[in-house]
Structure formats: C-alpha cells, structure tokens
C-alpha cells in the first residue's frame, strides 16, 4: 500500500461481503479513503484499486465523475452553498456573495490557511428551509456520513457559522 492505513484497508476488505463484485465497493471504499487522507491522490486511487483488484482506471474515472470526491487537496472544512432555484428565490445569490466576502475567497477556492474550501452546490433537497449550506470534513478520519446541513440561513447565521469553523 502506498498511502492507505491498515485500518482503512481492513474497513474496505469488510465491505466486500456486502456486494457480489468487488468493483461495487468502489464508492464506499473511496469514501473511506478520503476520510483518512482528505483527498484522493493517484496513490490513493492505486491503493483502492489494489484492494479491490480492479484496474486503476476504473477507480480514477469514478473519482473524477462524482462531485464529493476531491482529486486535489482541499480545506479542513468544505462548505457548499446551494445556488439552485428554490434557494435562489430565497436569496442564495446574496448568501453566496456574503460567504465569499467573509472568507475573502471565491467559490472553488480554499482559504490561505487551509481552513475552508468554499463551493457552489446544486440542490441538496432542503428547499423548504432555503437558503442552506452543506458542511463536511473530508479528512477528519471519522466515519463517512458526518456531514451536516445548516438551513434557514441569514447573513448573520452564515457569518457566525463560518467564523466558528476551526
């Protein structure tokens, strides 16, 4: 293994009994790898492919297709703000502009201290509590699924949330 820890490899191994093929473990395995590493480098893809005994190209295409997988280093916190229609009708454009102002970066960028990566997001199925954002910590080592929504955003609530991220 180039970069995956023994714990991650064991966790991926234990996925295999859930599916009739090892290829089907690709998405959950990548979620686990990203939890350990924070992002998915070529070495990480190589390791996942080795554990699953599938061609590395299979893993690489999956990493590049899905928006939750990062193929380059991102901030400790990833904050994605919904810009889709239901949120826009409730002021998402201003919320996004305010987040960019507070953090001093544009969507798609990471703060210089590596604290926060800010991104646009498309609809996250919280249209009744718009505007909203999604928060995740890709490399926190925890189990996948620790992500949270922050809903019914105002500019004040957003600012307090962003400043509270350590």
Partner 1 sequence: MTNAADWAPKGFEQTLSKRWFVSDGWTYAGYVRDGGYEALRKCLGMQPDEIIDQVKKSNLRGRGGAGFPTGMKWGFVPKESKVPKYLVINADESEPGTYKDRYILSRDPHLLLEGCAIGAKAIGANKIYIYIRGEFGLPYRRIQHAVKEAYEKGIFGDSSMGSGYRIDCVVHRGAGAYICGEETALLESLEGKIGRPRLKPPFPAVKGAFAGPTSVNNVETIACVPLIFSRGVDWFLKQGSPGNGGPKLMCVSGHVERPGIYEIPNGYPANKFLELCGGVWKGRKLKGIQPGGSSTPVLKPQPCKALAPEGAPEHAWPLETDTPLDFDNVKKAGSMFGSAGMMVFDENTCMVRSLLTLANFYAHESCGQCTPCREGTGWVAKILYKLEHGEGTDADIAKLMSATDYMMGMTICVLADSIAMPVKSFFDKYRDEFMDHVRNKKCSFGDYAVEPTPYNFWEDATAERAS
Complex with partner 1: residue 11 or 126, whichever CB lies closer: 126
CB of 146 to partner 1, least distance (A): 7
Binding of residue 77 to partner 1 (CB under 8 A): no
Residue bearing tokens 């996004």: 96
**At its nearest, how many Å lie between partner 1 and the CB of residue 31?**
6
Structural contact between residues 78 and 135, judged by C-beta atoms closer than 8 angstroms: yes
Residue 151 and residue 132 in contact, taking contact as beta carbons nearer than 8 Å: yes
Taking CB under 8 A as the rule, does residue 124 contact partner 1? yes
**151 touching partner 1, by CB under 8 A:** yes
User: Would you count residue 133 as binding partner 1 (CB under 8 A)?
Assistant: no
Phi, psi of 110 (to 5 degrees): -120, 140
DSSP output for 2-18: -S--HHHHHHHHHHGGG
Instruction: Print the binding letters for residues 29-68 with partner 1: x by CB under 8 A, - otherwise.
Output: -xx----------------------x---x--xx--xxxx
Environment class of 123 (CB within 10 Å of its CB; exposed 0-12, middle 13-18, buried 19+): middle
Q: CB–CB of 9/1 below 8 Å?
A: yes
Residues at the site binding partner 1, with contacts judged by CB under 8 A = 18-21, 23-28, 30-31, 54, 58, 61-62, 65-69, 83-86, 88-91, 93-95, 121-131, 134, 136, 144-155, 157
């Amino acid at each position: 293994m180039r970069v995956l820890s023994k714990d991650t490899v064991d966790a991926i191994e234990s996925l295999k009994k859930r599916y009739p093929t090892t290829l089907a473990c690709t998405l959950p395995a990548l979620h686990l790898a990203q939890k350990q590493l924070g992002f998915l480098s070529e070495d990480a893809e190589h390791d996942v492919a080795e554990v699953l005994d599938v061609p590395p190209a299979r893993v690489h295409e999956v990493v590049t297709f899905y928006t939750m997988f990062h193929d380059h280093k991102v901030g400790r916190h990833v904050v994605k703000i919904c810009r889709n229609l239901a949120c826009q009708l409730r002021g998402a454009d201003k919320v996004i502009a305010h987040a960019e102002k507070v953090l001093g970066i544009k969507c798609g960028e990471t703060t210089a201290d590596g604290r926060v990566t800010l991104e646009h997001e498309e609809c996250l199925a919280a249209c009744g509590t718009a505007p909203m954002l999604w928060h995740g910590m890709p490399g926190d080592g925890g189990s996948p699924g620790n992500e949270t929504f922050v809903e019914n955003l105002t500019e004040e609530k957003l600012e307090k949330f962003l400043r509270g991220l350590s």
